[in-house]
Amino acid sequence: MSNNLQAIRGMHDILPDQTGLWQRIEDSARAVIESYGYAEIRTPLVEVTELFKRSIGEVTDIVEKEMYSFPDRGGDSLSLRPEGTASCVRAAVEHGLLNQAQRLWYRGPMFRHERPQKGRYRQFHQIGVEVFGLPGPDVDLEVILITRRIWRALGLSDLRLEVNTLGEGPERTAYRTELVRYLAAHEGELDEDSCRRLETNPLRVLDSKNPELRELIAGAPSILDHLGEASRAHFASLCAGLDAAGIHYRVNPRLVRGLDYYNRTVFEWVSDRLGAQGTVCAGGRYDGLVQQLGGRATPAVGFALGLERLVALVEESPGTPGPALDAYLVAVGPAAEQRALLLAEELREAVPGLRLLCHCGGGSFKSQFKKADKSGARYALVLGDAELARGVAGIKPLRDDGEQVELPLAGLAGFLAGAD
């Protein structure tokens, strides 16, 4: 097998028996997001490395350790995008989209050289939204409402929402000083990673997954005690909105996020069914990023959900998707085989959205029926030379015990259009 080429570790093929579920999830999310008036944006998979350094932050795990960066033939450093927000901001500034409010969404693969494990991959897929030009907590609430509606559309009822606020720059600086003082006083208890973060990015110590640090972190000072009036009011208004919308949430003052661009609202939706990688969706406000990347000061908020994690949750949830095919056309005999592809064309033309597979390659009734059954189709349409000569076709239900019936060819489209 050593000569066989394989996909790169942490990068997975999504095989035909899975793509139906992926499409269902993507279609549901897209329909929900567009029902809020968001428009799709598509950006390149590759950007200059500088973009991610200046947005996500030089001393974050993503930029320090996880980017797929390479010099292109001209010598510029390029990177596969590790996330979508930075690219959206770059595109919005570059194309002058920010002279009015924008509600954007995107989907596609992202790349991070992390240690692969269940729910954590090196190529993974996100669907995200980014809103530009609206500063208030109302739009923070709107993006969270979108996520709740997506979970509902997918029948997921057990995701937990955690929210926090990171305040504004000066508030965070004051908090950071106090946090460093606290952590430095306990330096002997910190693990190696946290000692390093204490120097470079102390808020990230709060995000440590090391159970031995749990108590220490629980006793750390809280950002919520360092907020100014405006940040406090913003957060209070968001929380009141969540209450009014009946969304249960937990304020988690230790929620800091792994990317540097956030201010004020941050949030995560977490599942207990996914093990260590339980965060299905994450986001927040990043009012400083547009200016930081060369645009004029523009408030912004957004989120991204991880499709692999969502697929894993939906896969486990009760309620399987309906059959992928409406019908499988079985054709036996020279005249029937010749007619079959064209009959299938006529049916697709007459019944919008019909999912019809036309058997190709001949074979007996028995072998074609076997394939029809295996295809998961709801009906087999049966065309033999004898039926064709009489201008009829058989219809056999494949998913229940119904008898085969005969219909005139001209009645097939009406039958299939009416089958729900």
Q: Residues interacting with ligand HAM, by CB under 6 A?
A: 83-85, 112, 114, 119-121, 124, 126, 128, 130, 258-259, 279-284, 302-306, 308-309
Q: Which is nearer to ligand HAM, 300 or 382 (CB)?
A: 300
Q: How far is the CB of 198 from ligand HAM (least distance, A)?
A: 22
Q: How far is the CB of 106 from ligand HAM (least distance, A)?
A: 10
Q: How far is the CB of 242 from ligand HAM (least distance, A)?
A: 18
Q: Which is nearer to ligand HAM, 307 or 327 (CB)?
A: 307
Q: Which is nearer to ligand HAM, 40 or 345 (CB)?
A: 40
HSE, CB side, 13 Å, CA atoms: give it for residue 368. 24
Q: How far is the CB of 269 from ligand HAM (least distance, A)?
A: 8
Q: How far is the CB of 344 from ligand HAM (least distance, A)?
A: 39
Q: How far is the CB of 122 from ligand HAM (least distance, A)?
A: 7
Q: Which is nearer to ligand HAM, 81 or 378 (CB)?
A: 81
Q: Which residue is at the shortest CB distance from ligand HAM?
A: 306
Q: How far apart are CA 371 and CA 377, in angstroms?
A: 10
Q: How far apart are CA 48 and CA 45, in angstroms?
A: 10
Judge contact between 301 and 143, C-beta under 8 A.
yes
Q: Which is nearer to ligand HAM, 127 or 331 (CB)?
A: 127
Q: Which is nearer to ligand HAM, 258 or 363 (CB)?
A: 258
